[in-house]
Structure 1
Amino acid sequence: MTPQVEPQQAGTPAESIQRPTVIAFATQKGGMGKTTLSVLVASWLHYKRGIKVALLDVDSSQLSVYNQRISEHEHMDAETAAKLDEQDIEPYKILSGGPGDVPLLLSQLPANVQLVLVDMPGSIDVEGYEVAISKLDYLIVPMETSRYAVTTGFSYLNAIRELDLVPAERCRVVWNRYKPSRDGEIADQLDQSFAQYGFKSLKSRIPQRDSYQDSTNLSTLFPMPTSYLRNSGLKELFAEIESLLLTTNNDGRTTK
């Protein structure tokens, strides 16, 4: 059976991605959606876009993605197994460890992997954090527009830059739990403020939806249903991640 993947967007064929790009959604403030976004991106790009994905779960205090995959296998019924067989695409690799294990985990990935997503711990003070973050091609920081979330997120970005772990030009902010009527103007202003420090914001903004926490959407074996993409900001996010993969492949940068 031929894998059911989405037609490639003009100018972004999976075949043109020759080397892996390492990306993390990360921040120090809990509840910003870093793990949810990691799983949504990994599952959609792997199963629907034909991009070979791997996920490193190094949030060693929880290992929520790694344990999710184990749970999905343990509780798989005949209907789900048949659906997985019909999908005819091997599930993406999920490896687990601590943040200091990232170099070793990267060396253990299949040679054809094109995107590596790293689920980081929620604190920069965890042993090995600097080792993991220094391996990233891009750091994406999810934020809400509340004062506390912005202050925490900006402090985190500054710490990463001052430690010279990820250059500012390879850091991105993504607005999550976004309400246009409430957050539009302030998000625009904050984008301008961040830009003065060299930090870019993604154009996609992800609205608040409780459905993102549904088990159907957070599956590591299947992509979220296409019907959920309408007005979700996720379709735009997926496209922006693809653009980052092409940028990495075209700029000559090599994996650290």
Structure 2
Amino acid sequence: MSTPTSQPPAEGPYSGPPVILAFATQKGGMGKTTLSVLVASWLHYRRQIPVAILDVDSSQLSVYNLRVREIEQLDEETKERFNRQAMDEYPVLRGEPAAIPQLLQQIPANVRLVLIDLPGNIDVEGYETALGKVDYLLVPMETSEFSVTTGFSYLMAIRQVDLLPADRCRVVWNKYKDSRDGTLVEMLEERFKQYGFTCLQSRIPQRDSYQDSANRSTLFPMPTQYLRNSGLKDLFTEIESLLPVSTLSSPVEND
């Protein structure tokens, strides 16, 4: 076990540039950081797709500080569990949004997917620089009026200043309840489509367990028993579909 910028995992067969993806929104509490960690840890440790996270939400550095705490709190049992995994810990680099080009140069050459944890404020210096490096922007959203209005305004602001094409933006329905939100989501998705924005098919229900330290970890994937009816397995699969085929590997399901 090493520092947050640790030794990269073994070389994979793919030699092209990594796909760069960011969960981002201007409304707090939408789950952008939690989803970033859950996706990174599942794809890296379970799917053996080399991943890196760039934490440029410099007012909080939630992912970077989580990694530091996890390493500090490792005991012999968890070290042994970690060592049984096929992959070393993925790099977590910190910095300002304007430093994204330099941070990308620091990631190991074998990384296939980079997740960026962006600030919650589009007016932060360097935000345009950071977003300009993103291949896909995923915007977590609830069905509440304020969440939808804020998320839609964020997407429109990005489109209007030509920071990212609309076809590279995706809405992710989070804290979803089918009996309450199903019809509304269908209506909203049709509305988004009129502006060129699409939504992922996976819908993530409200679960307190996502925040549990045993599940939201940068060193371990979420245990498979928590994935049943969670929508997360579908999310992981959809994100894999954005990656080059040669990046993908067989799943590893055992804890």
TM-score normalised according to structure 1 size: 0.90
Distance 2:182 2:214 in 1: 29
Alpha-carbon offset, residue 144 of structure 1: 0.2
Residue of structure 1 equivalent to 2:172: 174
Residue of structure 2 equivalent to 1:161: 159
Distance 1:17 1:245, change over 3 A: farther
- Are the equivalent residues in 1 in contact too, given 2:45–2:86 (CA < 8 A)? no
1:170-218 deviations in Å (ceiling 9; x for gaps): 0000100000000000001100000000000000000000000000111
Distance 2:87 2:147 in 1: 38
Residue of structure 1 equivalent to 2:66: 68
Q: How does 1:137-216 map to 2 (within 5 A)?
A: 137-216=135-214
1:127-151 deviations in Å (ceiling 9; x for gaps): 1111101110000000000110000
Residue of structure 2 equivalent to 1:92: 90
SS at structure 1 position matched to 2:241: helix
Residue of structure 1 equivalent to 2:43: 45
Alpha-carbon offset, residue 87 of structure 1: 1.2
The amino acid that maps onto 2:79 is: A
Q: How does 1:3-152 map to 2 (within 5 A)?
A: 15=13, 18-152=16-150
SS at structure 2 position matched to 1:28: coil
SS at structure 1 position matched to 2:170: strand
Point out where structure 1 has 5 or more consecutive residues left out of the alignment: 1-13, 250-256
Distance 1:90 1:163 in 2: 40
Distance 1:171 1:88 in 2: 32
Distance 2:171 2:120 in 1: 16
SS at structure 2 position matched to 1:135: coil
1:86-122 deviations in Å (ceiling 9; x for gaps): 1141100100001111010001111111000000001
TM-score normalised according to structure 2 size: 0.90
The amino acid that maps onto 1:84 is: F
The amino acid that maps onto 1:215 is: S
Distance 2:239 2:51 in 1: 12
Residue of structure 2 equivalent to 1:11: none
Distance 1:163 1:17 in 2: 33
- Are the equivalent residues in 2 in contact too, given 1:17–1:245 (CA < 8 A)? no
Percent identity over paired residues: 66
- Are the equivalent residues in 2 in contact too, given 1:36–1:218 (CA < 8 A)? yes
Aligned length: 236
Distance 1:204 1:158 in 2: 22
Distance 1:17 1:48, change over 3 A: farther
* Structure 2 residue 228 is the aligned partner of structure 1 residue 230: yes
Cα RMSD after superposing both structures? 1.5
Distance 2:190 2:236 in 1: 23
SS at structure 2 position matched to 1:245: coil
